[in-house]
Amino acid sequence: MTLHDERRDFWEQRLEADWTQTGVGYRALGRSFNTWMYRVRREVFLREAAALDLDWPTAQILDVGSGTGFYVRGWQALGAGAVTGSDLTEAAVHRLRDRYPGVGFHRLDIAEPGDTLGEKTFDAVSCMDVLFHVTDDARYVAAIESIARIVRPGGYFVMSENFLHGSVQRGANQVNRRLDWITALLERSGFDVVRRTPMLVLMNAQVDAGPLWRKLWGGTLRAATVTEPTGWLAGAALYPLERRLTRSRSESPTTELMICRRR
């Protein structure tokens, strides 16, 4: 079994067992806290995606790594004319087709999509909290290049990532890469970066902060979310602050949203 097969099996088993925002989110922080976290994610996504220069009634959208369909719902809320979804796992695709009968879903690996997705087909492609789970750099490059091929000239690529200023962080199921490396790859692939904004600030692992703060805040979050009731209270307390921080800050020590436009 290849490393890619192992990663696919990991996500197949995880989503088969837990097809919720916790299953696709920060599992260690529990379902209640993740619910609050995803409220912030939705607000940031809707605000940023709504500003795209698209003819919404005719817009063709692809969501890569749809998971539970969270961002599919976001595109629909914005009035996108046609939304298509995809996921690496059968566990997600099977359930997505039942939940969203009017949406077409493909089971595919965006690094090797074959001929399933036509060239220059989509006005916008989203890939949210997906690419840092591609642990092989060559497959990461292939994924970006595949996305570039299917976005029409003048179209958009909306992604969320952990854009590090410091050293690359490599784990078994996640790799956090440097901002300059990702930006250079996007530019080589035909994208211009339009803007980058915090997706979260405090409600996630502080991967781009100093080691002392990263460890201290990570321990605080895990302690605060050790039970579902305390996780709910922690999320409710942080939510109004997080909303302000994502609007007022230009960068974040954790996940950020980036808008790119195809040349």
Residue 113 one-letter amino acid: P
pLDDT for the residue numbered 1: 52
Exposure b/e, 61-80, CB count within 10 A at least 16 = b: bbbbbbbbbbbbbbbeebeb
pLDDT for the residue numbered 23: 66
Class of domain 3-262: alpha beta
How many whole angstroms separate alpha carbon 55 and alpha carbon 81?
9
pLDDT for the residue numbered 25: 72
pLDDT for the residue numbered 73: 97
Return the bridge partners of 127, or none: 64, 159
pLDDT for the residue numbered 8: 72
Burial of 136: CB neighbours in 10 Å, binned 0-12, 13-18, 19+: middle
pLDDT for the residue numbered 146: 98
pLDDT for the residue numbered 18: 73
Tell me the pLDDT of the chain (263 aa) as tens digits.
565 666 677 777 877 777 777 667 788 899 999 999 999 999 999 999 999 999 999 999 999 999 999 999 999 999 999 999 999 999 899 999 999 998 999 999 999 999 999 999 999 999 999 999 999 999 999 999 999 999 999 999 999 999 999 999 999 999 999 999 999 999 999 999 999 999 999 999 999 999 999 999 999 999 999 999 999 999 999 999 999 999 999 999 999 999 999 99
For residue 114, what is the DSSP state? Answer: T
pLDDT for the residue numbered 14: 76
Report the number of secondary-structure helices (H) and strands (E) in the chain: 9, 9
Q: At what angle do helices 211-224 and 228-248 cross, to 10 degrees?
A: 140
